[in-house]
């Protein structure tokens, strides 16, 4: 593309053709080795990054579908419309670098897709490595939490549902070094028992300047409260 003297954006005399890349991608897809390719790419991403795998961040992103197959609709935030789409679930290491992506076959929510995603992670990391998975409220499921712990995963997530407010006087100031500077938090910590999950969870609550309380739950009992809250809150 070139820019004219009048400030208008002009196209060149030729534009990129997509027929050839589409034809090549069709031939590659016909071999049925997409899973093998994804696994090899993930292993390349993992090579030499052992120190960044203590925490894994899982998040879903809706991708608009423009093909010919009939797919269920998903809500596309950018367009504020329900459109044919798929949901890609990305797994990133604690430095934000992607490790792998898993596409939901029918736009299943995070609570339904988290175990299949973690099965892929387990194949990459081996049976002995225990990691902590961080995700948003879309993955809230007490039954899921129990299964994750049994499979050797810990978790950090936002608490979903109505929570009785904690008196402001019970919050204490704490500091954390984050992104090159000190940040101050007002935090409260306690243990909560969920009969459905059949184990105790740790809840770290944050009181912000707008008097809003954000509650984070985790299966990790050994993490300092400040890094736990900082790793999950924007």
**Per-residue pLDDT tens listing for the chain (234 residues):** 444 444 445 555 555 667 888 888 888 889 988 888 888 888 887 777 777 678 999 999 888 887 778 878 877 887 788 888 888 999 998 888 888 888 887 778 899 999 999 998 898 888 888 899 999 999 999 989 999 999 999 999 999 988 889 999 999 999 888 778 888 889 999 998 877 667 789 999 999 877 899 999 999 988 888 766 655 444
Determine the Cα–Cα distance for residues 60 and 67; give it in Å rounded to an integer: 21
Closest CA to 100 of 40, 155, 55: 40
Q: What is the reported pTM?
A: 0.79
Please give the pLDDT value at position 12. Answer: 53
Cβ contact 199:149 at 8 Å: yes
Closest CA to 229 of 169, 172, 165: 172
DSSP H or E stretch at residue 44: helix 34-46
Q: Which long-range contacts (CB under 8 A, 24 or more apart) does 67-71 make?
A: 71/106, 71/107
Q: What is the pLDDT of residues 32-52, one digit of tens each?
A: 888 888 888 888 877 777 776
Please give the pLDDT value at position 179. Answer: 76
Cβ contact 215:205 at 8 Å: yes
Residue 48 corresponds to which tokens in the numbers above? 């030499």
Please give the pLDDT value at position 206. Answer: 93
């Amino acid at each position: 593309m070139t820019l004219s003297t009048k400030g208008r954006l002009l196209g060149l005399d030729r534009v990129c053709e997509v027929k050839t890349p589409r034809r090549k991608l069709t031939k590659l897809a016909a071999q049925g080795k997409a899973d093998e390719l994804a696994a090899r790419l993930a292993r390349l991403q993992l090579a030499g990054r052992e120190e960044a795998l203590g925490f894994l961040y899982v998040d879903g992103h809706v991708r608009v579908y423009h093909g010919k197959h009939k797919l269920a609709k998903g809500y596309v935030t950018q367009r504020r419309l329900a459109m044919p789409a798929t949901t890609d679930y990305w797994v990133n290491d604690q430095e934000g670098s992607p490790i792998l992506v898993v596409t939901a076959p029918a736009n299943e929510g995070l609570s339904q897709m988290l175990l299949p995603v973690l099965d892929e992670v387990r194949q990459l990391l081996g049976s002995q490595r225990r990691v902590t998975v961080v995700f948003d409220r879309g993955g809230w499921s007490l039954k899921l939490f129990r299964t994750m712990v049994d499979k050797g995963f810990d978790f950090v997530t936002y608490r979903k549902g109505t929570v009785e407010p904690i008196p402001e006087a019970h919050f204490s100031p704490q500091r954390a070094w984050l992104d090159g500077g000190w940040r101050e938090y007002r935090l409260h910590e306690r243990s909560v028992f969920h009969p459905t999950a059949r184990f105790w969870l740790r809840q770290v609550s944050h009181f912000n300047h707008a008097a809003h309380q954000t509650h984070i739950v985790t299966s990790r009992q050994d993490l300092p409260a400040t890094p736990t809250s900082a790793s999950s809150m924007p």
